[in-house]
Each structure stands twice: as C-alpha cells, then as structure tokens.
Amino acid sequence: MPEKVQIRAIKGVRDILPPESRVWARVERAAQDVFGTFGFAEIRLPIFEQTELFARSVGGDTDIVGKEMYTFRDPVETAEGLFKAAFESFPDKVEREELPEDIRSMLAQSTPNVPLDKWKKISLTLPMLSEAMAHGESVSLRPEATASVVRAYIEHGMHTLPGDVKLYYMGPMFRRERPQKGRYRQFYQIGAEVLGQSDAPGIDAELIEMLFAFFGRVGLEGLTLDLNSIGCKECRPKYVELLRAELLKVKDKLGADSQRRIETNPLRVLDSKAPDEQAIIEELPRISDHLCEACKIHFAEVRRQLDIRGITYNLNWRLVRGLDYYMRTTFEITAPGLGSQNAVCGGGRYDGLVELLGGLPTKGIGFAIGEDRLMLSLEAAGKVVAEPSVDAFIVWMGASTQATAIKVAQRLRAAGIKVELPPEEFKFKKALGLADKLGARYAILIGENEIAAGKFTLKRLADAVQTSVTEVELLETLRAD
C-alpha cells in the first residue's frame, strides 16, 4: 500500500481560523467604518494582473519585481493577448510591415472580432506566432495593490469623477520572501489611495490622520510615525547621483548587497540594517539638504498640517521605501511587539504613477497596512479577545418540542443573537456540557412543561442562575446582556 502523504499548506502561507478570524473581521469592519467617515469607498481588485503592470510601476530593479513575484504564463486566448505575447517573445521583430497573408487568414478565423489593421505593425512568421501563442502572456499574483488601483483609475476614466478619488481596498498580496514571524508569502493588506489633481499637503496629513483614527479604533497603541520627503523628479535624480558618487568612495567598506545597489538603486543603501555599514551611512549626504524649493515648501507644509492635527512624528532621512514610484512624502508606522518586522504600515506620494501607466498627469498618495502584523501587535498587547461565538444554546427535550425550538431559534437569530440549536435531541447533561464548552452565555431549556406553561427556562451559565421567561422577556434579556 502506498503511504498516504498528508497535504499541507504551502510554505509561507497560513490559515486564519476562528476565533482569530472573527478579530480579523472586526478589524476590517473598523477600517470600513473609519475610512467611510473620511469619504473613502471600497474598490475590489483582481488578484492577478499582467506582469508588465508591476514591472512598470513597482520597478524592475526592486526585490519585489526582480525575485519575489509569483509569475506564470497564461495561454493566449485573444488576438490582443497574442499580440502582446508576440511582442514579449520577439521584441526585435516588430516592424512596420503588412501582415503576411497566411497569418492574416489565421487571425481572421480565430479572432474575427478584432480588426486586422491592428496587426499591421508586426512581422512574424506563422511558426513564430505559434511559439508566442504557446508561450502565453505573463501574469503575476499581485505583490501590492497600488498599481492595480491606478490601472483601474485609468481604465474606468475615474479622473472625470468630482473631487479627489478616494479608494480603499483589502485583501491578500503575494511575495516570495523568506518566511519568518510577521513575514509571509501570502499576507494581507488594508490600503487606501487618494488620486486627483491636487497635491495639497493637507491631503497627506489627513491620510495619516485617518490611519491614526483607524489604529485608535482597533486599539493599537505605542505607534511611531517616521516621516521623510524623498524629493521629486527635479531634485531626486541629482541627489541620487551625489549619493552614488559618495557611495563609490566607500564602496570597499560596504557589503555585497549595498555594493550592488550603488549601481541599481543607491537610495536602497540607506535601508541597510548591516551593523558595520551604519557609521558609514550616517556620514552620507541627506536628501533634506538637497530638496528643491517646491519640495521643501511641500514638506514643511505637510509637517505643519500634521502639527495642526496633533500628530507627532520622527523625521527619518533614511526612510526611502523600496518601490520606484514614490516621491516627496514617504512615511512608515512601526508598532510594538513585532521584533524585527515591526513596520505595520508604509505609504507615500506617487504623483507620476498615473502618467507612467498611460493616464493623464495626476497626483496620488496612499498607504498599505500589513494586517497580519497589525494582528500580531494586537495579540502581543493582549488585545485579541475573541467575542463569544454562542449567545444562547437551546436545549430541547422530547420530539414534540423541536418545532418550537426551531421557531425560537429563528426569531432570536433574526434579532442578531448567536444561537446554537442541536440538530437532534441530546441528553440533558450532554447538551449543557456542550453549551459550556462552546462558551455559550445562556442555555434556553425547552421541554414539554415549558411549552405547556408558555414560558422557557433561561439558565445563565456563568453562575447557573435560572429564570422562567416568556419569549419576549427572553429576547430582551439576551439583547440587553
């Protein structure tokens, strides 16, 4: 007999079980409520997108796109898809030429709805097209959601909506990172974005105010806000060059990762946690001394707007964030009880991103909260107290009482009370024992005597106090408690 191998969840992903899942739901409701009061509405996004979306927005040189995405080939089904796959497979064969006749007839048959003039610009032989078709389109599980929000904003012409477009989302993200406490391969984010024509610093400050209102609502305390401005496309490139020049002077003293980043992304060197690099990094030029006038003014006003709102922050010139699309304001919030993975939220401004993805010039800012870490921090603070899952356990005795028990259960549930109704008759002791183990607050006893008297026996399980109540009184007691 072959041994049966037990199938387990994949490395780095996990199940969230009750009662913990109830706390997750509560946190998500708090986000919906609080964000709603700031005028944000939910956007539900796809879990996978064209790989190119992330490559263009998050950036090809980042760890996320370079090595952490779950990417796969999806067989091509449409002419559009074939067109893209052909570009991906044979980028050098894109020429302005008439489509060869054999390809034209094949396309006309397989995708009659797509006008053939779309195809004039590629010159591929039939075998090449077949290869592209087999190769498929590259799609990726989303490693973050800002890119998708921006894609949706452009795709649905949301720039025509009145005022700033304020959206929030929640759901799983996927990155092939090394799993550890607070770092998973499928993790959950709650995020929000503001897109529109204005980059008023009041938007940045109100977004951060909303975050603190949310954290306050869920009871997360001891938070630290780190704040920085990383400049714009005027001043940042000059600073990055200066930084690169300074880093080259000390290259030999840096580790392999930082040495590589001098070429690929010098700002990321500032992120380094390597102990022997810290003294060197402290001596490097700081972006705050190299911001252009407009960025300086913007950053000063963001800080003033935070002051008005009573929000305190640390200025952290090394907070650059890993993603390419950020500019000007960047921020990160850390929480206690999390060890080294202590960032619960990261965010920043990304004014060029909509344009980069093919939309009109648009300003944008957003954040993403790591929900897994938020839960870990709440747990460490002893704040994860699951609500009881059963308010009342109905103990019915005698076959003739079941119909009444079902009706009582229906009415209580309609009133929002959590009711457990045994599907078959249990012995009295067994029923009460189960009620206790499930953590029910009350047992409702329904026997033939109770039905004859038109009253039920309500037993409070914490202290075994019993009362005889009508159905109306029953509902009132359960609701009040």
Give the separation between CA 51 and CA 147, rounded to whole angstroms. 11
- Does position 344 bind ligand AMP by CB under 6 A? yes
What's the order of all strands across the beta sheet hosting 137-141? 48-50, 137-141, 71-74
Q: Which residue is nearest to ligand AMP (CB)?
A: 370
- Does position 325 bind ligand AMP by CB under 6 A? no
Decide the pairing of beta strands 442-446 and 465-469: unpaired
Give Cα separations from 52 to 75, 84, 257 (angstroms).
16, 10, 26
Q: 352 in helix, strand or coil?
A: coil
- Does position 345 bind ligand AMP by CB under 6 A? yes
- Does position 370 bind ligand AMP by CB under 6 A? yes
Residues 6+ apart with CB under 8 A from 264: 61
Q: What angle do CA 58, 44, 147 make, to 5 degrees?
A: 10
Tell the smallest beta-carbon distance from residue 380 to ligand AMP (Å): 14
- Does position 176 bind ligand AMP by CB under 6 A? no
- Does position 189 bind ligand AMP by CB under 6 A? yes
Nearer to ligand AMP, 81 or 366 (CB): 366
- Does position 352 bind ligand AMP by CB under 6 A? no
Choices 44-52, 84-92, 241-249, 337-345 (CB under 6 A): range interacting with ligand AMP: 337-345
Convert residues 85-124 into a mask of x (bound to ligand AMP by CB under 6 A) and - (unbound).
Answer: ----------------------------------------
Convert residues 224-263 into a mask of x (bound to ligand AMP by CB under 6 A) and - (unbound).
Answer: ----------------------------------------
Give the separation between CA 466 and CA 267, rounded to whole angstroms. 69
Nearer to ligand AMP, 40 or 187 (CB): 187
Choices 131-139, 178-186, 232-240, 284-292 (CB under 6 A): range interacting with ligand AMP: 178-186
Tell the smallest beta-carbon distance from residue 115 to ligand AMP (Å): 40
Tell the smallest beta-carbon distance from residue 399 to ligand AMP (Å): 53
- Does position 343 bind ligand AMP by CB under 6 A? yes
Tell the smallest beta-carbon distance from residue 178 to ligand AMP (Å): 9
- Does position 144 bind ligand AMP by CB under 6 A? yes
Contact indicator for 356, 147 with CB cutoff of 8 Å: no
The structure tokens listed for 149 are 């929000």
Nearer to ligand AMP, 66 or 361 (CB): 66
Q: What angle do CA 355, 361, 362 make, to 5 degrees?
A: 100
Quick one: which of 402, 392, 469, 393 has its CA closest to 431?
A: 393
- Taken in order 447, 452, 458, 459, is the CA torsion positive or negative? negative
Give the separation between CA 248 and CA 239, rounded to whole angstroms. 14
Give the separation between CA 177 and CA 51, rounded to whole angstroms. 18
Nearer to ligand AMP, 373 or 459 (CB): 373
- Does position 372 bind ligand AMP by CB under 6 A? yes
Nearer to ligand AMP, 351 or 372 (CB): 372
Tell the smallest beta-carbon distance from residue 376 to ligand AMP (Å): 9
- Does position 45 bind ligand AMP by CB under 6 A? no
**Residue 270 phi, psi dihedral angles, 5° rounding:** -65, -20
Quick one: which of 70, 38, 53 has its CA closest to 153?
A: 53
Does 19 sit behind a cis peptide bond, omega within 30 degrees of 0 on the bond before it?
yes
Give the separation between CA 124 and CA 128, rounded to whole angstroms. 6
- Out of 79, 280, 368, 412, the only residue in the binding site for ligand AMP (CB under 6 A) is 368
Choices 201-209, 341-349, 410-418, 471-479 (CB under 6 A): range interacting with ligand AMP: 341-349
- Beta-strand ranges (E) seen in 235-355 are 314-315, 327-334, 343-349
- Does position 373 bind ligand AMP by CB under 6 A? yes
Contact indicator for 204, 184 with CB cutoff of 8 Å: no
- Residues contributing to the site for ligand AMP (CB under 6 A): 144, 175, 177, 182-184, 187, 189, 343-346, 368, 370, 372-373
